[in-house]
Amino acid sequence: MELTMNIKFEQLVEIVKQLPDEMKSKLFESVIQKKKTKLSKEDFQKFLLHAPTWSGEQIEASQNARKHINLSRIA
């Protein structure tokens, strides 16, 4: 079963404040645990292999912009 709700952050905070201390602890532990999960080596490899890349035009535009920035600096 899945439930999707659109609530504001402040409303969520008020809901959490109403939870019993034991449930708050479980909630916070769950949130912290989700934050600490690390990506596996395979996940990192997939990310690198499927990450967006720059086209030749984009690289050239970036290099030209860098040249103009360097020329415009007061030395």
Read off the pLDDT of residues 39-56 as tens digits, 9 standing for 90 and up.
788 888 988 899 989 999
Paired tokens of 23: 């449930």
With bands split at pLDDT 50, 70 and 90, how would you rate the model's confidence at 35?
Answer: low
Tell me if the pTM is above 0.85.
Answer: no
With bands split at pLDDT 50, 70 and 90, how would you rate the model's confidence at 62?
Answer: very high
* DSSP string across 12-69: HHHHHHTS-HHHHHHHHHHHHHHHH----HHHHHHHHHHS----HHHHHHHHHHHHHH
Q: Domain limits of the chain?
A: 9-72
